[in-house]
A and B are shown apart, each in its own frame.
Chain A
Amino acid sequence: MAKRPRVLTLSAKETLILELLVEHDELYGLQLVSNSKRKLKRGTVYVTLGRMEEKGYITSRLEDAPADMGGMPRRLYQATPLGRRVLAAWSAATTHLMPEFAR
């Protein structure tokens, strides 16, 4: 008997991150924290972003920092087409199943 495909799910934090990335196109970690109005915490946002990148919901690139700036280049995150589809499907499912709680 063929294995059923795993249902892609989104946690509350992942949903928020995808919504912010869809709205702003490209953001780095601390920008996500500040735009989330304290819903995302500094300690956990990087772990969540790493997990989402492994799942394929987002992609990242190192910024083109000027040479004189020094330090490590920051990582900019973007929602992938898969991430956008999962967010759209998840939002639609939430609206359909629990209209009282849909944003």
Chain B
Amino acid sequence: MTRRGERLRAFAALWCDDQSMTLVVDPAIADLQREPSIRQYIAVLKVFVWCRIRGLTVPDSNAATAVGTLGRTLTWTAGLVVVLTALMVKRGDRIVPHSGFHPGPVRYVFMVPPALVITMTFGLALGVVVALGGRRISRRVAASVFLLSVASSAASFLNLGWLTPSANQAFRALYGATGQGGITELSWGELTQKIYYFSGPEFSQFGYLHALTFNYHTRLAMAFGPLVFTIFALSIAFAARNRWVPLIWAIVGCTLYWIAINANALRPWNSGLSSFAAAWIANAVVLCLSAVAMGVSALRRRDRRVQDAS
């Protein structure tokens, strides 16, 4: 019969180095065995996550190096965001009909916020793998990149909730369209109000509620995009030995995400999935790929430790 915490310890030993096991994990598990509680289980899991992150990164030996690495990451990210946004705006401009309309170059200004929703996600992921792929990443850099992704997600949330709806409205007005706008022109507050309104039993036979809730969950899921893709980018950067493999994986991940968010087959009215599931499935796929990459790096580290020990 296994004692409380033994399986947890065996799992942690696959992922954490010996020093972390002795100094941090074992004391937590010993306390769990003597004073078991849900809080102590959670504490052990937190300890395990900390050790895992510590194992993936290296100490900051040189602050100047960390600043330089972070600067390179930011430069690549900013450059890629600008390039991708320009490409998205150009693509969008080709799709919109022009005959009879003379909207002028100001239309590009209104096309930037919707484009930024996806380009910030992809730009951050690609910037991280180009700048950090195949290198030993310090804790300071990993923490800074993670904070950058949190800030980008917050900016994306604001963009999706207010800036993009206003830009869409202004874009439509530029083409002389009047009257009620579509779902994409609703702010967070307006969207929530409409969902509440159309949730009444008198509207149950209409599919409009589906479209509203799907849009709501999609916006939330895309707001988390920078965070999800940064976790993905860091996990493949840790796992790879050179720069090109994580870059290829990042491009594959971005392509799959693009296909998933545009796939009509995944819409809730086509797939039978709930609005929440249909909206978050793309993020879930990317997080699964991150877990696979982390598993690969953990196995590599374990093999290296076994090799060094023998």
Q: Is the interface of A mostly helix, strand, loop or mixed?
A: helix
Q: Confirm or deny: B11 has a beta carbon within 8 angstroms of a beta carbon on chain A.
A: no
Q: A50-B23, A54-B23 are in contact. Are A72 and B46 (CB under 8 A)?
A: no
Question: Contact: B33 with A72, CB < 8 Å?
Answer: yes
The minimal Cβ–Cβ distance linking B113 to chain A, given in whole angstroms, is 39
Q: Confirm or deny: B308 has a beta carbon within 8 angstroms of a beta carbon on chain A.
A: no
Which single member of A42, A50, A53 contacts B43 (CB below 8 Å)?
A42
Stretch from B34-42, B181-189, B215-223, B231-239 contacting the other chain: B34-42
Q: Which residues of A contact B34 (CB under 8 A)?
A: 30, 71, 74
Number of B residues, CB within 8 Å of A: 23
A73 and B40 alpha carbons, distance in the complex (Å): 16
Residue of A nearest to B45 (CB): A43
The minimal Cβ–Cβ distance linking B19 to chain A, given in whole angstroms, is 8
Question: Contact: B24 with A30, CB < 8 Å?
Answer: no
A42 and B50 alpha carbons, distance in the complex (Å): 13
Chain A residues numbered 42-86 whose CB sits less than 8 Å from any CB in chain B? 42-44, 46-47, 49-50, 53-54, 60, 70-75
Q: Which residues of A contact B26 (CB under 8 A)?
A: 72, 75
A7 and B26 alpha carbons, distance in the complex (Å): 31
Which single member of B3, B28, B33, B35 contacts A46 (CB below 8 Å)?
B28
Q: A46-B47, A47-B47 are in contact. Are A71 and B24 (CB under 8 A)?
A: no
Which single member of A28, A42, A47, A49 contacts B40 (CB below 8 Å)?
A42
Question: Contact: B3 with A73, CB < 8 Å?
Answer: no
Question: Contact: A70 with B3, CB < 8 Å?
Answer: yes
Q: Which residues of B contact A42 (CB under 8 A)?
A: 39-40, 42-43, 46
Q: Which residues of A contact B35 (CB under 8 A)?
A: 30
Question: Contact: A53 with B23, CB < 8 Å?
Answer: yes
Pick 5 A–B contacts, CB within 8 A, sort by A.
A29-B31, A41-B43, A43-B42, A71-B30, A74-B31
